[in-house]
């Protein structure tokens, strides 16, 4: 049995530029993001042959199938098919999470990294963070043909507060953002996150945004430049951190111009209510349309913002530095069952 824990992420600036449709043209692309102490968990074990099915996958639904091709969860099916071509074992895969899926925190890519890391561990292969990031991108963009970017997979695999740069052809560079511990804690204490109460399909919204990339060059270049500005604010102790909040607001306004599907009237109303209550700036996390709202709020205004958004759940969180990790590793745990070879 192997259990992998992978963090969710909060993306501050540069989202959208991480899509290959953009950076493969040679345009500059980068994001500034951090992982947080909210996780998804994947448990994988070889399935004892005493059952009348070969695969059991528990996520939003519970699947019990005879063959890989019958598995509905696309990531589980793809990992087992692509990386286990000579593996005729049966498997059980269990999914758990601290927060809802499809809420703008990169849960899908966190699952991909977790599933891949668990299965590689099952094969006694302990790979690098880069390997898991690259392969997760390959699974989602090439095997599953999802219209997704490349930041979430890298954030999930590496963990921490990072600047991630993307190059044409798919290469990337991860640069940890080095700031004093007290300044990092100050930033964390001024960030408030609220669950809007509904989720959305990121791929659908991303697909709509991608279609308009050629007409949104100015916005995407501006969003890339905000990564540099955000880095400067964080790393220069003479700049008040409130500037980070104001930059979040600029980034949100630029993101809204990418597609009408990014926001809704209800989300706009909630955002304005938080600003009126004292928030310096903020954004909707992820592709848009729902999920979590993030705000930068000075301590003296946090109660007022919490009251203004009292219909939403205020989710406290902390920064995380480790990325995807194995919390239980016992691939040979057999519970005295016979794992003789069998065909699906």
In this prediction, residue 339 has a pLDDT band, given cuts at 50, 70 and 90, of very low
Q: Is residue 259 part of a domain?
A: yes
Least confident among 19-28, 125-134, 222-231, 283-292: 283-292
CATH assignment at residue 11: 3.30.230.120
The model carries a pTM of 0.91
Q: Is residue 176 part of a domain?
A: yes
Q: What is the rounded CA–CA span in Å between residue 211 and residue 6?
A: 31
Q: Interhelix angle for 107-122 vs 74-83, to 10°?
A: 30
For 171-196, b/e burial (b = at least 16 CB within 10 A) is ebebeebebeeeebeebeebbbbbbb
- Average pLDDT of 291-320? 97
In this prediction, residue 334 has a pLDDT band, given cuts at 50, 70 and 90, of low
The secondary element (H helix, E strand) that includes residue 303 is helix 302-308
Q: Give the tens place of pLDDT for each residue, 220-241.
A: 999 999 999 999 999 999 999 9
Q: Is residue 186 part of a domain?
A: yes
User: DSSP letters of 245-280?
Assistant: HHHHHHHHHHHHTT-GGG--HHHHHHHHHHHHHT--
Rg (CA), the chain: 21
Q: Is residue 250 part of a domain?
A: yes
Residue 124 confidence (pLDDT) above 80: yes
Q: Is residue 84 part of a domain?
A: no
In this prediction, residue 331 has a pLDDT band, given cuts at 50, 70 and 90, of confident
- pLDDT, residue 302, reads 98
- pLDDT, residue 88, reads 80
Q: Is residue 177 part of a domain?
A: yes
Structure tokens at 240: 């008040």
Q: Is residue 197 part of a domain?
A: yes
Residue 184 structural domain: 2-42+101-123+129-320
Q: Is residue 180 part of a domain?
A: yes
Question: Which spans in 72-122 are helix H?
Answer: 74-83, 107-122
Structural domain count of the chain = 1
Least confident among 57-66, 253-262, 296-305, 308-317: 253-262
Least confident among 105-119, 183-197, 258-272, 317-331: 258-272
């Amino acid at each position: 049995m192997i259990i992998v824990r992978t963090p969710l992420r909060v993306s501050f600036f540069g989202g959208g530029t991480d899509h290959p449709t953009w950076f493969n043209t040679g345009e500059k692309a980068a994001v500034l993001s951090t992982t947080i102490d909210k996780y998804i968990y994947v448990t994988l074990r070889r399935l004892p042959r005493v059952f009348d099915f070969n695969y059991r996958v528990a996520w939003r639904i519970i699947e019990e199938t005879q063959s890989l091709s019958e598995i509905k969860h696309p990531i589980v099916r793809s990992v087992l098919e692509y990386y286990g071509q000579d593996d005729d074992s049966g498997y059980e895969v269990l999914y758990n999470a601290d927060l809802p899926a499809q809420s703008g925190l990169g849960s899908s890519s966190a699952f991909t990294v977790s599933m891949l890391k668990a299965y590689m561990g099952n094969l006694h292969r302990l790979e690098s963070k880069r390997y898991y990031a690259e392969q997760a991108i390959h699974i989602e963009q090439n095997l599953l043909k999802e219209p997704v970017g490349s930041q979430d997979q890298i954030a999930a695999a590496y963990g921490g507060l990072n600047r991630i740069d993307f190059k044409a052809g798919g290469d990337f560079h991860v640069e940890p953002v080095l700031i004093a511990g007290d300044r990092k804690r100050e930033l964390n204490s001024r960030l408030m996150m609220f669950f809007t109460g509904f989720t959305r399909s990121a791929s659908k919204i991303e697909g709509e945004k991608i279609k308009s990339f050629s007409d949104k060059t100015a916005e995407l270049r501006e969003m890339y430049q905000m990564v540099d500005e955000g880095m400067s604010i964080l790393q220069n102790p003479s700049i008040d951190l409130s500037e980070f909040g104001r930059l979040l607001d600029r980034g949100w306004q630029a993101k809204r111009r990418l597609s009408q599907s990014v926001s809704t009237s209800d989300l706009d109303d909630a955002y304005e209510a938080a600003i009126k209550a004292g928030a310096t700036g903020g954004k909707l996390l992820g592709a848009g349309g729902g999920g979590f709202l993030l705000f930068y709020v000075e301590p003296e205004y946090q109660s007022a913002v919490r009251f203004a958004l009292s219909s939403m759940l205020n989710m406290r969180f902390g920064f995380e530095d480790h990325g995807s990790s194995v919390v239980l590793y016992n691939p040979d745990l057999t519970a005295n069952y016979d794992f003789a070879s069998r065909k699906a």
